């Protein structure tokens, strides 16, 4: 990388560089985080899977919502993006009751202010997808918030706009995934605002890090589901009785391999492209 490229910061997974005033370089590492802790062991090629899948979905949904993707680089893990003012909320859409949504429902019968029917099971499909935003915690865990708290952070008009766009994106991608035998249980999106004040979809989109993907043929509501996402690593970490604070546990080789296989499986099933073809020519993800 040339010296003129300025390193802006490191996220848990990505390195951010400024190419100029308008453009960022986002480089996805092979780091994996569970329960907001970056683990000491990397998953080979994970950053390429995230980058390729995001690029694929940006290309697929570009007509629905403008996004930040400008160019995908040869290494398969770096993208040139429009530099945006990010909104301070995570835009989560849930079609099924899992994770913190399930926990909130058990405790209150609601998720982010949406009152839900009584007697729902863990992982059950909701009557309709709901928008369930969260704060972007600088440290610690993101917190689920309701409409009033979200609107206080981004403004009423923006809130309504990101809710509508997030639900549209979820519906579009979950319909495509369903045709491939995959349930998109929930997903997290991030939006930014460009210099003209327009909303732009940013960050990563519909990857195993930002979404729960379940194989439809194994779907059994009433408990957690097998998945193509991080659940395999989460389960391993929880089996150790780890307290979910730094430092996280090292992953043994079989957990690394099993995780890598799940990420690549998700890439291949969702894009219909062999991962080896993506490595040889990342441009194939753009269709």
Ligand X SMILES: Nc1ncnc2c1ncn2[C@@H]1O[C@H](COP(=O)(O)OP(=O)(O)OP(=O)(O)O)[C@@H](O)[C@H]1O
Nearer Cβ to ligand X (82/269): 82
Q: Which of 59, 86, 153, 284 binds ligand X (CB under 6 A)?
A: 86
CA distances from 242 to 234, 246, 249 (A): 10, 10, 8
Q: Which stretch binds ligand X (CB under 6 A): 83-91, 93-101, 123-131, 143-151?
A: 83-91
Nearer Cβ to ligand X (163/190): 190
Binding residues for ligand X restricted to 183-222, rule: CB under 6 A: 190, 192, 202-203
Which residues sit opposite 241 in a β-bridge?
Answer: none
Binding footprint of ligand X, residue count (CB under 6 A): 17
CA 277: distance to chain centroid?
23
- Binding of ligand X by 37 (CB under 6 A): no
Q: Which stretch binds ligand X (CB under 6 A): 13-21, 146-154, 239-247, 267-275?
A: 13-21
- Binding of ligand X by 53 (CB under 6 A): no
- Binding of ligand X by 23 (CB under 6 A): no
- Binding of ligand X by 16 (CB under 6 A): yes
Determine contact, residues 78/51, Cβ cutoff 8 Å.
yes
Residue nearest to ligand X (CB): 11
Q: Which of 24, 97, 98, 266 binds ligand X (CB under 6 A)?
A: 24
Q: At what angle do helices 253-271 and 46-61 cross, to 10 degrees?
A: 20
Residues 90-109 vs ligand X: string with x where CB under 6 A?
--------------------
- Binding of ligand X by 81 (CB under 6 A): yes
CA distances from 143 to 43, 66, 100, 106, 112 (A): 27, 27, 9, 16, 10
Q: Which of 13, 87, 97, 169 binds ligand X (CB under 6 A)?
A: 13
If you search the block for the tokens 């659940």, which residue do you land on? Answer: 231
- Binding of ligand X by 134 (CB under 6 A): no
Nearer Cβ to ligand X (126/237): 237
CA distances from 261 to 49, 51, 77, 232, 269 (A): 11, 16, 18, 11, 12
Q: Which of 84, 111, 145, 183 binds ligand X (CB under 6 A)?
A: 84
Q: Which of 14, 77, 158, 230 binds ligand X (CB under 6 A)?
A: 14
Nearer Cβ to ligand X (30/203): 203
Token digits for 193? Answer: 């605002």
- Binding of ligand X by 256 (CB under 6 A): no
d(CA 262, CA 114): 32
Q: Which stretch binds ligand X (CB under 6 A): 7-15, 121-129, 153-161, 238-246?
A: 7-15
- Binding of ligand X by 262 (CB under 6 A): no
Token digits for 64? Answer: 């629905």
Please count the other Cβ atoms lying within 10 Å of the Cβ belonging to residue 219: 15
**Binding region for ligand X (CB under 6 A):** 11-14, 16, 24, 68, 81-84, 86, 136, 190, 192, 202-203
């Amino acid at each position: 990388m040339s010296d003129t490229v300025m390193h802006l910061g490191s996220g848990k997974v990505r390195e951010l560089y400024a190419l100029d005033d308008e453009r960022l370089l986002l480089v996805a590492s092979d780091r994996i985080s569970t329960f907001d802790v970056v683990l000491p062991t990397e998953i080979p090629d994970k950053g390429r899977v995230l980058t390729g899948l995001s690029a694929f979905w940006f290309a697929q949904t570009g007509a629905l919502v403008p996004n930040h993707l400008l160019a995908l680089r040869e290494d398969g893990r770096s993208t040139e993006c429009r530099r945006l003012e990010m909104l301070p909320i995570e835009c989560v859409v849930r079609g099924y009751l899992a994770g913190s949504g399930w926990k909130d429902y058990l405790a209150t019968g609601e998720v982010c202010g949406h009152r839900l029917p009584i007697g729902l099971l863990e992982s059950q499909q909701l009557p309709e997808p709901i928008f369930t935003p969260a704060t972007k915690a600088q440290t610690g865990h993101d917190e689920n918030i309701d409409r009033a708290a979200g609107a206080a952070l981004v403004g009423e008009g923006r809130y309504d706009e990101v809710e509508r766009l997030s639900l549209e994106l979820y519906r579009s991608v979950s319909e495509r995934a369903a045709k491939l035998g995959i349930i998109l249980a929930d997903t997290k999106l991030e939006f930014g605002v460009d210099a003209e004040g327009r909303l732009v979809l940013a960050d990563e989109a519909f990857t195993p890090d930002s979404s729960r993907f379940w194989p439809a043929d194994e779907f059994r509501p009433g408990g957690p589901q097998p998945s193509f996402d991080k659940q395999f690593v989460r389960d391993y970490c929880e089996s150790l009785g780890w307290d979910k604070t730094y430092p996280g546990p090292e992953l043994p080789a079989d957990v690394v391999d099993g995780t890598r296989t799940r990420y690549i499986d998700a890439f291949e099933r969702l894009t219909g492209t062999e991962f080896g073809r993506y490595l040889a020519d990342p441009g194939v993800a753009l269709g």
